[in-house]
Copies of this chain bind each other. A is one copy, B any other.
Amino acid sequence: MAGKWVRMVTAQTPTNIAVIKYWGKRDETLILPVNDSISVTLDPAHLCTTTTVAVSPSFDQDRMWLNGKEISLAGGRFQSCLKEIRSRACDVEDEEKGIKIAKKDWENLHLHIASYNNFPTAAGLASSAAGFACLVFALAKLMNAKEDQSQLSAIARQGSGSACRSLYGGFVKWIMGKDEDGRDSLAVQLADEKHWDDLVIIIAVVSSRQKETSSTSGMRETVETSLLLKHRAKEVVPKRIVQMEEAIKNRDFASFAQLTCSDSNQFHAVCLDTSPPIFYMNDTSHRIISAVEKWNRSEGVPQVAYTFDAGPNAVMIARDRKAASLLLRRLLFHFPPNADTDLNSYIIGDKSILQDAGIQGKEDVDALPPPSEIKDNIPSHKFRGDVSYFICTRPGRGPVLLSDKSQALLNPETGLPK
């Protein structure tokens, strides 16, 4: 293992959105939850983390860069993941480069890690889920660890709970587990992303002036003070998990939507039942819910499910492309872009939904008629500027290795960010 070589691996990992929510830990250090959860993996084409991990005998310490800026690896969560994955490292042999790393060498070798999100880190879009999943997945490949995705998910979980669900594409269940050491608290895939490929996802990134409670401290306070959380975790969620698995298996959108919306609302209810109360949704979030609920009721069968994580952003899952384009028309009617915002940066991701919606430019947005379900009512308000932008996407695949070396984030000679 002598010499000046740098060995590196680059991986890409998706983010995910829970449809049955994780809220509350029974073990803070190991990150063991109080209930199972289920998520949909989002297409990494629109939301993902790319991470390059490198090892070299010339590195004198572990270092990490996030979106180009060096960050500390001193936190307990990084250290847990690094320690767990190092203990699973195996012999590596790269004949082409003439590199040989023995299993026992790994504990003396240092790592460089560079990670990049293709979406704003602070927008409340589960960047830590994709980030820790990508870190663990990439390190496992670099170190030739033999663990399968489920076993890796139990390591990623120790970085950020929801990260374990980003080890798979499609529909994923995080089984809470029973063991005290957390070895059975891991993710399994319920169905891959091709199983239900009608679904279209639109995310409203909602402008917010409020500083939000972090999910770590928020869920700790809920566990300590909410008198409703235990009932939710023990009595409500287990039944919903069974029903949600069935809905996904049968592609039963009506059940899927009803469960998704109810569970999002119940998660925010237990936040409100916390002392002091936690508010993640704001008036804009409420208006989006009201618009979706009104439309769903007017159609008789649900067209769209909504779910909100620890912030005001709405994630809407439409039953198909047709529903998604009708949803987008409604969203743009209520939340048109500011005068200085160009439509091309207001709707990002899969822009073909915008074409389906018959919208070419901002004049088409201004010309949108009120949705039929609100026509009879009092003149409807417009909330211009209350949404920062929309992301159109869909369910997507799990982690992949990027073999194209040009996509690496570290210089192959120096092991430093490009």
Q: Give A residues with C-beta under 8 Å from B.
A: 209-211, 227-228, 231-232, 235-236, 258, 261-262, 265-266, 268-270, 272-277, 279, 282-283, 286, 289-290, 293, 297, 378, 381
Contacts and interface: CB of A to CB of B under 8 A. Distances in A.
A228 B269 contact: yes
Contact of A272 (B209, B272, B283): B272
A273 B266 contact: yes
B268 A272 contact: yes
A336 B270 CA distance: 32
Contacts of A262: 273, 275
Given A228-B231, A277-B289, 4 more contacts: A211-B378, A227-B236, A265-B275, A276-B297
Give the copy number.
2
Task: Pick the 10 closest A-B CB pairs, nearest first.
Answer: A269-B269, A269-B273, A276-B293, A269-B272, A231-B231, A265-B277, A283-B283, A279-B286, A227-B236, A228-B228
B273 A265 contact: yes
Among A262, A265, A282, max chain B CB count under 10 A is at: A265
A210 B383 CA distance: 13
A257 to B, nearest CB: 11
A291 B381 CA distance: 29
Nearest to A268: B272
Contacts of A227: 232, 235-236, 266
A286 to B, nearest CB: 5
A261 B275 contact: yes
Contacts of A286: 210, 279, 282
A15 to B, nearest CB: 25
Contacts of A209: 381
A276 B294 CA distance: 9
Contacts of A211: 378
A376 to B, nearest CB: 13
Contact of A232 (B228, B274, B276, B282): B228
A381 B266 CA distance: 30
Contact of A228 (B266, B276, B378): B266
A401 to B, nearest CB: 42
A230 to B, nearest CB: 9
Nearest to A378: B211
A407 to B, nearest CB: 38
Contacts of A272: 265-266, 268-269, 272
A228 B265 CA distance: 11
Contacts of A258: 275
A273 B240 CA distance: 14
24 contacts: A211-B378, A227-B232, A227-B235, A227-B266, A228-B228, A228-B231, A228-B232, A228-B236, A228-B266, A228-B269, A261-B275, A261-B276, A262-B275, A265-B273, A265-B275, A265-B277, A269-B269, A269-B270, A269-B272, A276-B290, A276-B293, A276-B297, A279-B286, A282-B283
Among A258, A283, A378, max chain B CB count under 10 A is at: A283
